[in-house]
Structure 1
């Protein structure tokens, strides 16, 4: 028995030593210490002579050290020792001559490798890949095209398109990708991702115009739906949602209900990019053509939400739309989103919370699933907070926490408990809840929880009575109640009477956001500039920078200013939650090709 353990131990020690050597060799190789890596790889290869990885590293180390004759000897011996043709080693041997600036000799071996495809066309994948590894693009093209000629069922168009792109032959690359799209629809996403590396959001870009021309040409000569789909995709990349909508309507007419999901996705994309008018047109088209009541209702609610997002929203007209929807769809378990949207509108936009509360309680009398009941209770609790009936709201939030404890909805309810406690001025209880939520599985909830906790903590240390914090909490509640003018005024009192205190930057940021909401963009800019001037390096600096950049980009149409502030986030605040979004926006404004 002892002997068995001794043998096992010996094997394990041997394996451990082998693994250590391979890791050490790799580290030396990556660091450029080829003279140190070589003996280790030679030992590994000696122990495992069939392992091509160790052999390749030995050859490459010799080449990196300029020992081309030694590398040649190794490759020739390996080829001679094999009973079978070795086209990959022939490519390696040819590359060894390239390194010695002997292209004529190299071509002899490249020709041998390519000639092997006459016997085994399917080997073009590995042989072509080997050529590409050495940037031998012409030879790779020759290998792939020969194999496809010998066996038409083989398809290396994706590899060929990639090579044409590397060679700068953009038209041939696009054309090859389009041919592949037509024959292999399963690779469409992969193809589109590859194409995005060569186009931009600028519709006048040379490559964009070329791709559009090729797609239109194919659409005219072979009017297949795929060309409409790819034209639509191109227009979306260019943010031309109205043009994409034209293509989607054409697709719909030819495929009927199949394309409605595509239209929904397009409407969402247009909404996200603030193309509200186009989004509304798309939703109206969906309403006119769908046979599904649920899809139609979703579109109706989406239009209402877009209309309400405008400062000049026609409240009476929207109320009339809600009344018509309620008459059409009724109050039942299939229309919960409608009931919630209507109640929210009545409370927050019409300022009739009692009416909204009665409506929701009526819906809650239906036989509901726990999930739907929680959604309704969440809206009801929000309305009770709007009315400053905090204790009643907390009861509903707590019920949701208990029912949906393993769901994001439960965590959201917990955050709202903390937020409501904050509005009440019960900062200790709010902080207790927020400490738990910092570990939320929802990043958005975790970030909101951390931000509110820091607000409470930072402004409780120097002011034991929390006077300024209570004023801020009241202003925050007023903003929640859409009493923006009153909230701005209350924040002014903090900025006047609590100047120099830790809460000043929070008040400036909050007031800036309210100025934005009410269309007072220049006043918002002044607030953010004050934050950067007097609180540079503060935890809210990146918030101010991102707010400034967004304002200049989307509201004031000053791309240069926007780039300036995005750039500051990229270079000085790499740990910011805005970093990824700022980098993408900066690259877009600079005219880079952005992978969407």
Structure 2
């Protein structure tokens, strides 16, 4: 082939390629312009509809529909406009046209049936609805599309019928979840439960979705009883683990941890899981502050022996729960303290490691020794030893330095406490633990009576990323502002701050003496209710419950509109409920709090306790 021939051939190919590119660009530009034009026409039609000019809108939509015969979206816009105009003749015409083009799209029969319903022609409506359902094939998408069409006109029963037929026709999909949702929406809670159970049994991975949905539908005690009855009946037919998990989940919802434990223990033994599920239940109970139930779960795991991978976790969990019961309630004995100390020591001896878990247990032991056995020097020695462990990183050591700083503060060594807090602040400046250290230093300034310095630091900490630090900073800041205000006399506040430190250091006689001086020297000061609340705290610490009640009742009667009034009511109710076992008085306190102090942070817990004392079953 000659060079000229090759050249001419290449030139011809190039020209052809340019023509193709030009045509493609032209098509794209045309389609873009056309799409923009349609979009503008649709917006114009919407304006007509908004203004009630339905005839104009229909004329416009008809043009768009005729120009785009394959678009179901434009058909639907035109159809809806015709419904408003009640132009049923045109509706029937375009629907028949759509059915011819897309006979597999059964929603057109629903549209036609709905137009007959609008004409009160129930016979032809039912004929078309039934025809649509009778034509359902074995395609999942077709079933969902048709069910959605019935749901769009709020015909939930026919949507259920569609899914029921689809359940038979479509071999690889059950529609259990869809049926459960529809039965719930139609008010048939019992059938909704049935299909949710089916959906969970279909695949264990569906369990989370099922329990999330069930939380919305199990409102009353009778709902839970019915659900449990259904599960027990299913278990008799097929003892599947997922049924037990659902049963346990429901027991947890109604706080019946005893029944949950029985079921989970049986499942754990059956599947030989070494306590894994029981451990998860223990964690749930702990989070719900159901400490006795959690301890029961942990004890089961401990009894499995050290070969269980959850053995030390369970041992640790028991200690944490017993410690929480002491810290969070005022109803313990010295025997409880002594027994917990022994168990801490036994755990550390058996665990025999120097890692973070051992350090946390040692930290709890040190806190117990300092705050409940008043052996501060022994507690300091324990934590000083922990800080020498090589296995701990900087963040972990910072956590223990905070506690050690508290212990030095109790001992009266304020300089060492400040030094430790400042070390943590420097090492973990942008972390929550660093912000906690800064709060501790701010509180030291408050204890010393340097309120301006404290307030300046607290103002910054109120924006802390740590919710705990931010709340504590806000609370102390409000307290300082509320009780100083424009008052130029700082002495009452200094006396109270000193008493606050004495209480923290367990110097009870010094604390009481300082509070009495404040009351005597500054009668009717704004701090008076705070003084009586601190006296309540001292009485609790000394196990003088009758005195504690008297102080709270004094605040309740004389300071009903001060900041501590709701606190006093709540703790008074707690004493009546848990120490004196006086249900009537406890309920009266909680009810008064709920009614009189609607914005109190204690309202939700007070309402929960009131309902429990009244005998309500809670979700």
Could you say which residue in structure 2 is the equivalent of 1:565? 593
Q: Determine the structure 1 residue equivalent to 2:124.
A: 105
Q: Distance in 1 between matches of 2:568 and 2:55?
A: 54
Give how far 1:299 is off: 2.4
Find the partner of 1:450 among 451, 467, 474: 474
Cα deviations across residues 296-323 of structure 1 (Å, max 9, x unaligned)? Answer: 4422422441453442242332222233
Q: In 2 relative to 1, CA 550–145 (structure 1 residues): closer, same or farther, beyond 3 Å? A: farther
| CA deviation after TM superposition for structure 1 residue 212, in Å | 1.4
Moved more, 460-469 or 343-352: 460-469
| Cα gap change, 1:209 to 1:452, in 2 (>3 Å) | same
**Residue 152 (structure 1) aligns with:** 171
In structure 1, which of residues 333, 341, 350 is the aligned counterpart of residue 373 of structure 2?
350
Instruction: From the superposition, tell whether residues 463 and 95 of structure 1 become closer, same or farther in structure 2 (CA, over 3 Å).
Output: same
Tell me if the contact between 1:131 and 1:137 (Cα under 8 Å) persists in the aligned partners: yes
CA contact (8 A) 1:423 1:477 kept: yes
Match of 2:224 in 1: 208
2:214 matches 1:182: no
Aligned partner (choices 127, 141, 154) of residue 135 of structure 1: 154
2:348 maps to what in 1? Answer: 326
Superimposed CA distance per residue, residues 545-590 of structure 1 (whole angstroms, 9 cap, x where no aligned partner): 7667777777754557635533555xx53xx656776787788889
Q: Which residue pairs with 1:295 in the alignment?
A: 313
Aligned mate of 1:533, from 557, 560, 567:
560
Q: Distance in 2 between matches of 1:563 and 1:185?
A: 44
Query: For the Cα contact (< 8 Å) 1:563–1:589, is it kept in 2?
Result: no
Q: Post-superposition shift, 1:183?
A: 0.8
Query: For residues 466-495 of structure 1, what are the alpha-carbon distances to aligned partners after superposition, in whole Å with 9 as ceiling and x for unaligned?
Result: 222222223332443456787577556656
Q: 1:4 corresponds to which residue?
A: none
Task: Say if 2:110 is the partner of 1:91.
Answer: yes
Deviation at 1:244, TM superposition (A): 0.8
- Residues 369-428 of structure 1: CA deviation (Å, up to 9, x unaligned): 112211221111111122232221111111112222232211222222212222222222
Contact 2:445 2:454 (C-alpha < 8 Å) held by counterparts = yes
Matched, 1:218 2:242: no
Is 1:286 equivalent to 2:301 in the alignment?
yes
Note if contact 2:449-2:494 (Cα within 8 Å) is conserved in structure 1.
yes
2:282 and 2:297 in contact (8 A); partners too = yes
Say yes or no: does 1:523 pair with 2:589. Answer: no
1:178 & 1:292 partners in 2: Cα distance?
A: 30
Q: 2: CA distance between counterparts of 1:99 and 1:513?
A: 72
* Larger Rg belongs to: 2
Other-structure match for 2:7: none
Aligned pairs for 1:491-510 (under 5 A) are 491=515, 494=518, 497-504=521-528, 506-507=530-531
- Aligned twin of 1:198: 217
Q: 1:534 to 1:137 in 2, by over 3 A?
A: closer
Question: Unaligned 5+ residue runs, structure 1?
Answer: 1-7
1:466 is the counterpart of 2:479: no
Equivalent residue for 1:235? 251
TM superposition shift of 1:437: 1.2
Secondary structure at the residue paired with 1:94? helix
For the 8 Å contact 1:381–1:393, the answer to whether it is kept is yes
- Report what 1:383 is aligned to: 407
Kindly tell me the number of residue pairs found equivalent between the two proteins.
Answer: 567
Q: Counterparts of 1:221 and 1:436 in 2: how far apart (Å)?
A: 63
Number of the residue aligned with 2:21: none
Change (3 A) 1:344 1:547: closer
**Distance of aligned partners of 1:59 and 1:417 in 2 relative to their CA distance in 1, 3 Å threshold:** farther
Q: 1:593 to 1:308 in 2, by over 3 A?
A: closer
Q: Distance in 2 between matches of 1:72 and 1:565?
A: 66
Query: In the TM superposition, what is the alpha-carbon distance from 1:453 to its structure 2 partner?
Result: 1.1
- Structure 1 residues 69 and 499, CA gap change in structure 2 (3 angstroms): farther
Matched-pair contact (CA < 8 Å) for 2:408–2:416: yes
C-alpha change, 1:530 and 1:248, in structure 2 (3 Å) is: same
**Shift of the alpha carbon at 1:146?**
0.7
Match of 1:403 among 414, 419, 427: 427
Q: 2:290, 2:56 → 1: CA distance?
A: 63
Q: Report whether the alignment pairs 1:365 with 2:379.
A: no
Q: Which of 257, 262, 267 is residue 246 of structure 1 equivalent to?
A: 262
2:235·2:243 contact (CA, 8 Å) conserved in 1? yes
Asked whether the equivalents of residues 267 and 282 of structure 1 are also in contact (C-alpha less than 8 Å), the reply is: yes
- Aligned CA distance change for structure 1 residues 487 and 178 (closer, same or farther; 3 Å): farther
**Matches of 2:102 and 2:575 in 1, distance apart?**
68
In the alignment, which residue of structure 1 is the partner of 2:3? none
Paired residue for 1:337?
Answer: 360
TM-score relative to the length of structure 2: 0.78
Would the aligned equivalents of 1:545 and 1:566 in 2 still touch at CA under 8 Å? Answer: no
Structure 2: gaps (5+ residues): 1-28
> How much does 1:443 deviate?
2.0
Q: Using the alignment, how far apart are the partners of 2:577 and 2:71 within structure 1? A: 57
Separation in 1 of the partners of 2:423 and 2:332? 35
Aligned 8 A contact 1:385 1:393 in 2: yes
Tell me if structure 1 keeps the 8 A contact 2:591–2:607: no
Task: Give the drift of 1:245.
Answer: 0.9
The equivalent of 1:311 in structure 2 is 332
Q: Deviations over 1:67-90 (max 9, x none)?
A: 361477457536625721343343
User: Match of 1:3?
Assistant: none
Q: CA deviation at 1:139?
A: 0.4
Contact 2:436–2:469 under 8 Å retained in 1? yes
Whole-Å Cα distance in 2 between the matches of residues 25 and 541 of structure 1? 58
